[in-house]
């Protein structure tokens, strides 16, 4: 009697022994108890009967157990998720930490992110709910971006996913910006002219401020109409200067701001196919909006332009 | 690559996860939605899953987590379903003579299960209908393995009590 356990305490073991899952010694304890205790013997049998019923229930067909339609819906929702989902990772670069995110369609997000800590709210918004960290998916892009930032590569020919545009206006602004050649600059008003809304210089600046793909869509090539490097990645005009320097566009500090040296750049009057010296004809007087300026002849010629037949920049190149 | 591996996961487990959700939500439309949501979540996290992980137990954990908020709002519906299930009771595996009895007992089991507290119900269905390990049930319910055992036992005891009057017949038919 001394090692016997009460009926209440044995019940959990009756149940587990009935289910065939009793732990060490349980079967023996139960056996000893029910040998003396008729009510618990019955109880053990009842638990065995319950297990038998549960086994039947487990094997019995279930009403509404046809997963075919649900599976088909899942396939379509997964396909949709796959096309939306972003794989992203944060990489070091000469310009600081850069986040690169790509979807099945193409590169969707490139953002500067501060050292350490969580991602800023605007970056998380751009990533959306369907972003997963995926270094393997973005590492090749990072390698090409580094080549670009070293000046070893003039183009990043990445398929782009432009579904994160805020508006059709922003899309037009960014498309016009993407068309600016390597090594060239124009003004916000210049982009506004190109998209047929010449008065919209400020909205253009706003649209570029929320560029989801800086560097790739080269908003650093768009500057103030006075030639100053204004707003970039918050207050990181220094990054804008470095990106332009990689492309051969020199800047100088003047009056507390950085500006291009228009007098030291080759000019393209919009709509022309020839580039000029800054002293040539209308290039001299036109506002920056009507021009595209190149830091080097090589840049202008890489953009498919010919030297002007009058001012002959090929014979009288600007001092380097 | 990873996408094909995930297709295989869907192929192997979607039907069972849906069945689990059907058992615990008692509504085909909820089982459809929640099973799909389970796999959409799983897809997002799949790359981060360590190699050799128990994918099935992991999916049960996602399904359980997803369902728990949902279940709370459904307490009343579940009871209504248990009554409806009386009319659409599944065919039992018992012999012809015992059939009506078995159907009735199984309907009674479904009613008792439907009335269980949430954790007991989930633990019970995972253990008794899907035969998951207690450790995996604990992981799904964010409790210890011993707590998972306790939930299953409490549920089982209620099922057993709920079957008073059905069991003497069942015991006779066993002999």
The top-scoring range by mean pLDDT among A154-163, B80-89, B124-133 is B124-133
Euclidean distance between CA atoms B104 and A55, whole angstroms = 15
Averaged pLDDT, A134-154: 93
Contacts across the A-B interface (CB distance below 8 Å) = 117
Position B86 pLDDT exceeds 80? no
DSSP label of A152: S
Averaged pLDDT, A45-66: 91
Which of A4-18, A196-210, A248-262, B70-84 is least confident?
Answer: B70-84
Which of the four pLDDT bands, split at 50, 70 and 90, describes residue A280? confident
Between A132 and A286, the higher pLDDT residue = A132
Q: Output the average pLDDT for chain B.
A: 83
Which of the four pLDDT bands, split at 50, 70 and 90, describes residue A240? very high
Position A231 pLDDT exceeds 90? no
* Distance between B86 CA and the closest CA of chain A, angstroms: 12
Contact B104, B154 (CB under 8 A): no
Task: Tell whether A79 lies on the interface with B, counting CB pairs under 8 A.
Answer: no
Compare all CA atoms of chain A with the CA of B104 and give the residue at the minimum distance: A53
pLDDT, residue B102, reads 66
Which tokens in the block code for residue A39? 């009510």
Q: What are the residues of chain B with a beta carbon less than 8 Å away from any beta carbon of chain A?
A: 3, 6, 10, 14-15, 18-19, 22-23, 28, 31-32, 35-36, 39-40, 43-45, 47-48, 85, 88, 90-94, 102, 105-106, 109, 128-129, 131, 153, 156-157, 159-160, 163, 167, 170-171, 174
Which of A14-23, A143-152, A168-177 is least confident?
Answer: A14-23
Task: Tell whether A67 lies on the interface with B, counting CB pairs under 8 A.
Answer: yes
DSSP E strands in chain A: the ranges are 86-91, 98-102, 107-112, 131-133, 184-187, 222-223, 251-254, 257-260, 266-269, 274-276, 291-294, 306-307
Averaged pLDDT, A83-97: 92
Which of the four pLDDT bands, split at 50, 70 and 90, describes residue B101? low
Which of the four pLDDT bands, split at 50, 70 and 90, describes residue B126? very high
Task: Tell whether A14 lies on the interface with B, counting CB pairs under 8 A.
Answer: no
pLDDT, residue B96, reads 46
* Distance between B138 CA and the closest CA of chain A, angstroms: 17
Position A1 pLDDT exceeds 60? no
* Distance between B145 CA and the closest CA of chain A, angstroms: 13
Instruction: Say yes or no for a CB contact (<8 Å) between A60 and B31.
Output: no
Task: Tell whether A256 lies on the interface with B, counting CB pairs under 8 A.
Answer: no
Q: Is A280 a residue of the active site?
A: no
Between A57 and B88, the higher pLDDT residue = A57
For A57-76, write each residue's pLDDT tens digit.
Answer: 899 888 888 999 999 999 99
CB within 8 Å of chain B, chain A residues 101-160: 130, 132-134
Helix A38-59 vs helix A7-18: angle between axes, to the nearest 10 degrees?
Answer: 30
Instruction: Say yes or no for a CB contact (<8 Å) between B88 and A63.
Output: yes
Position B84 pLDDT exceeds 90? no
pLDDT, residue A108, reads 94
The top-scoring range by mean pLDDT among A113-122, A172-181, A274-283 is A172-181
Q: Which candidate in A219, A276, A280, A311 is catalytic?
A: A219
For residue B37, give the nearest of B79, B71, B1, B67 by alpha carbon.
B67
Instruction: Say yes or no for a CB contact (<8 Å) between B170 and A49.
Output: yes
Instruction: Say yes or no for a CB contact (<8 Å) between A46 and B167.
Output: yes
Position A234 pLDDT exceeds 80? no
Averaged pLDDT, A23-47: 91
Nearest CB among A65, A69, A77 relative to B19 is that of A65
Q: What is the dihedral of CA A191, A197, A198, A200, to 10 degrees?
A: -80
Position A139 pLDDT exceeds 50? yes
Euclidean distance between CA atoms A319 and A263, whole angstroms = 11
Which of A11-25, A304-318, B26-40, B67-81 is least confident?
Answer: B67-81
Instruction: Say yes or no for a CB contact (<8 Å) between A47 and B94.
Output: no
Which of A114-118, A262-266, B56-60 is least confident?
Answer: A114-118
Give the number of residues written for chain A.
320
Task: Tell whether A63 lies on the interface with B, counting CB pairs under 8 A.
Answer: yes
Task: Tell whether A3 lies on the interface with B, counting CB pairs under 8 A.
Answer: no
Which of A132-146, B5-19, B72-86 is least confident?
Answer: B72-86
Helix B75-85 vs helix B99-114: angle between axes, to the nearest 10 degrees?
Answer: 180
For B7-22, write each residue's pLDDT tens digit.
Answer: 999 999 999 999 999 9
Averaged pLDDT, B124-129: 96
Instruction: Say yes or no for a CB contact (<8 Å) between A74 and B39.
Output: yes
Position A90 pLDDT exceeds 70? yes
Burial string for B35-61 (b: 16+ CB within 10 Å, else e) reads bbbbbbebbeebbeeeeeeebbbbbbb
Averaged pLDDT, B39-52: 89
Averaged pLDDT, B40-52: 88
Compare all CA atoms of chain A with the CA of B108 and give the residue at the minimum distance: A53
Q: Output the average pLDDT for chain A.
A: 91
Which of the four pLDDT bands, split at 50, 70 and 90, describes residue B92? very low
Position B97 pLDDT exceeds 60? no
Averaged pLDDT, B13-38: 94
Position B174 pLDDT exceeds 70? no
Instruction: Say yes or no for a CB contact (<8 Å) between B90 and A63.
Output: yes
Task: Sort A150 into a burial class: Cβ within 10 Å, 0-12 / 13-18 / 19+.
Answer: exposed
Position B1 pLDDT exceeds 80? no
pLDDT, residue A319, reads 81
Which tokens in the block code for residue B99? 């059939």
For A158-186, write each residue's pLDDT tens digit.
Answer: 999 998 888 999 999 999 999 999 999 99
Q: Which whole-number Å values give the CA distances from B109 to A196, A243, B78, B156, B159, in the listed order?
A: 73, 71, 13, 10, 6
Position A128 pLDDT exceeds 90? no
């Amino acid at each position: 009697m001394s090692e016997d356990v009460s009926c209440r305490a044995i019940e959990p073991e009756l149940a587990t022994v009935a289910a065939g899952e009793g732990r060490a010694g349980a079967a023996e304890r139960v056996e000893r108890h029910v040998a003396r205790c008729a009510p618990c013997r019955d109880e053990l049998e009842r638990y065995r009967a319950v297990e038998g019923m549960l086994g039947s229930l487990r094997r019995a067909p279930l009403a509404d157990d046809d997963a075919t339609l649900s599976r088909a819906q899942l396939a379509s929702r997964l396909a949709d998720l796959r096309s939306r989902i972003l794989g992203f990772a944060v990489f070091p670069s000469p310009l600081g930490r850069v986040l690169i995110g790509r979807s099945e369609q193409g590169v969707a997000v490139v953002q500067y992110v501060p050292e350490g800590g969580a991602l800023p709210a605007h970056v998380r918004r751009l990533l959306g709910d369907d972003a997963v960290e995926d270094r393997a998916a973005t590492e090749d892009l990072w390698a090409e971006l580094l080549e670009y930032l070293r000046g070893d590569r003039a183009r990043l020919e990445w398929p782009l996913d432009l579904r994160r545009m805020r508006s059709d206006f922003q899309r037009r602004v960014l498309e016009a910006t993407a068309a600016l050649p390597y090594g060239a600059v124009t003004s916000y008003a210049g982009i506004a002219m190109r998209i047929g809304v010449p008065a919209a210089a400020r909205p253009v600046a706003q649209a570029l401020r929320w560029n989801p793909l800086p560097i790739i869509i080269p908003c650093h090539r768009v500057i103030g109409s006075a030639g100053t490097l204004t707003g970039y990645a918050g207050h990181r005009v220094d990054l804008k200067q470095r990106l332009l320097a990689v492309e051969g566009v020199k800047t100088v500090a003047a009056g507390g701001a950085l500006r291009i040296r228009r007098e030291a750049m080759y000019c393209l009057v919009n709509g022309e196919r020839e580039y000029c010296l800054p002293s040539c004809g209308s290039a001299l007087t036109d506002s920056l909006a009507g021009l595209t300026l190149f830091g080097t002849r090589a840049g202008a010629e890489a953009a498919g332009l010919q030297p002007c037949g009058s001012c002959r920049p090929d014979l009288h190149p600007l001092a380097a | 690559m990873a996408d094909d591996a995930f297709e295989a996961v869907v192929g192997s487990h979607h039907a069972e996860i849906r069945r689990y959700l059907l058992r615990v939500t008692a509504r085909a439309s909820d089982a459809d939605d929640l099973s799909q949501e389970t796999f959409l979540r799983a897809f997002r996290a799949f790359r981060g899953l360590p190699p050799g992980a128990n994918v099935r137990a992991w999916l049960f954990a996602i399904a359980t987590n997803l369902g728990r908020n949902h279940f709370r709002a459904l307490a009343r519906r579940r009871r209504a379903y248990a009554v409806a299930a009386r009319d659409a009771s599944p065919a039992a595996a018992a012999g012809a003579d015992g059939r009506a009895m078995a159907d009735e007992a199984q309907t009674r089991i479904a009613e008792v299960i439907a009335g269980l507290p949430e954790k007991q119900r989930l633990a019970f269905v995972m253990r008794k209908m899907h035969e998951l390990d207690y450790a995996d049930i604990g992981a799904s319910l964010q409790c210890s393995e011993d707590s998972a055992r306790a939930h299953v036992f409490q549920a089982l005891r209620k099922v057993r009590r709920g079957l008073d009057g059905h069991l003497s017949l069942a015991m006779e038919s066993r002999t």
